[in-house]
Amino acid sequence: GRALLILLLSAAVSLLGGLIFGYELGIISGALLQLQTDFQLSCFKQEVLVSAVLIGALLASLAGGILIDRHGRRRAILVSNLVLLVGSLILTLARSFTVLVIGRMTVGFAISVSSMACCIYVSEMVAAHQRGLLVSLYEAGITVGILLSYALNYTFADVDEGWRYMFGLAIAPTAMQFLSILLLPVNPVKLSSWDSDCQKGLIPLQDTEDRAAAKQEPYQKHYSFLDLFRARDNMRRRTLVGLGLVLFQQFTGQPNVLGYASKIFHSVGFQSNSSAILASVGLGAIKVLATLVAMALADKAGRRVLLMAGCVVMAVSVTTIGLTSRMAPLAMARDCEAAAGPNASHSLPQHPLAPVFPQSVVSPIPPASGAVKSQAGPGFAATRSLKEVFASTQSKEVVPNSSLTQKRDLVGQSKKGTLESTGPPLSAAPWAQHTVLNWITLLSMMAFVSAFSIGFGPMTWLVLSEIYPAGIRGRAFAFCNSFNWAANLLISLSFLDLIDAIGFSWMFLLYGLMGVMAVIFIYLFVPETKGQSLEEIDQQFSRTR
């Protein structure tokens, strides 16, 4: 009974951790629509507010590893929960722009530490044959959290100061995770003796072989940060595997591919806001289903198989999008320059359906959601760009003239939010005549979302939580995590310049090439870890040159 209780609590910690992460990243999109009015936020201020989460998360990825290794995973999660509660209260009670930014930075720091600690804690807490399922629950939690945030954005959209409720509701899952982790035992990684209370909690959950191997593991084995780059215990190869996975996860185009989601929805006939909202929720549901498939297969098919299969489908999908966009070009509006004044909108009557740029999830540890571009003046409709895989769709069409403003996000998270209003009929757009090709593009995008959610999405973080020795696991995970954020930043910042330089279709063909390279990398360097205890994985890496 106790073993089952701990299994359920571990699952709850993983799921709630992901849910909070996804919720915090998604909720800003709807909150910004109200905040820009309540606080008269300029474009720059909105971008700073959105980017504050990223800044906090980057700080956490630099400092969080030390906290996780020195003070234990359980304590790190408890601390992150307390910090998140403080951040949520700051946001809920905020009366000024500065306080909002401080609150979002606090939240960003907390969810980044929590995401790293949760994956490591759960991977160490459960038996080898359950590890894939329970760590992948984190990714499932993220997708559910984002869907939940969109639902609440919609619910509170017309409530006076509804953003306070949006930010405040994060307190509920945070408190639930705090209580769940309090009931779980201290992770044995930090204990020098096995004659402790945690033995009663952890050991019944483990298989007999796991128990024997765990007792043999030298818990006092210490590593310095520089050991990550040395030949000792083959740490250099482990670092290569970790960095390769997080960089390929970004360079296959995940932060940007879905930037055109809403435009594709519009081009295949989802013209009203309500139908576009339904389409984006549908895309979210596809992601949730794909993540559930990954959870079911992680411990059966294995990590390598899912990673390679996902990469192949992603490469085919983005290559297809690249080829179809050559034959049926999607309307693409360049963002306004940063120096543009308050009236910096471009009249684009020929493109009534402007794209809204979401930002991908780097699952579990992913970036802040995109900025909303707002325009001073009553009745100007702002749509916000959304996080992760789902298209942003809640634009409000108010003005009868067609104008759109786009601006690159300050820190390079999702590129643009867009402003759009009613315009000429869809047939005015050059790509409206290519119905079949547009549907192929839409299906390719759905395939990309599914493949990412089965492969790179959950498996990257599962493998990262497995391949490092216990003594440096936290710092190694955080080190790879910081590269994940940096790569996301680079991809996001350079996207528009690259499209200007080489064109939209070539950009996506380049992503396809990166997908092929990712398959080769995984085949050559990433070992299969399913069904092995963490100690066996450690020994496998230490032996293999």
Dihedral (CA of 1, 470, 366, 529) sign: negative
- Asked if pLDDT for residue 61 goes beyond 60, the answer is yes
Amino acid occupying residue 171: I
- Asked if pLDDT for residue 272 goes beyond 90, the answer is no
- Apex 371 CA angle, 370 and 373, nearest 5: 140
The pLDDT tens digits for 32-51 are 888 988 998 887 788 788 87
The pLDDT tens digits for 411-444 are 333 333 333 333 344 444 554 567 788 788 888 9
Q: With contact defined as beta carbons under 8 Å apart, do 178 and 42 qualify?
A: no
The values of phi and psi at residue 134, to 5°, are: -75, -35
Residue with more model confidence, 273 or 153: 153
**Confidence (pLDDT) at 105:** 94
Confidence grade of residue 17 (pLDDT, cut at 50, 70, 90)? very high
- 208 vs 507: CA distance, rounded Å: 51
Domains (ranges, CATH) in the chain?
Answer: 1-190 (1.20.1250.20), 225-330+432-544 (1.20.1250.20)
- Asked if pLDDT for residue 97 goes beyond 90, the answer is yes
Q: Cα 328 vs. chain centroid, distance in angstroms?
A: 30
The pTM of this model reads 0.71
Residue range 307-311: mean pLDDT, rounded:
95
- Asked if pLDDT for residue 406 goes beyond 60, the answer is no
Highest mean pLDDT among 184-188, 206-210, 311-315, 483-487: 311-315
E strand map for 315-417: 346-347, 403-404
Calculate the dihedral angle through the C-alpha atoms of 307, 309, 310, 316, rounding to the nearest 10 degrees: 140
Nearest to 170 by CA among 96, 235, 234, 85: 85
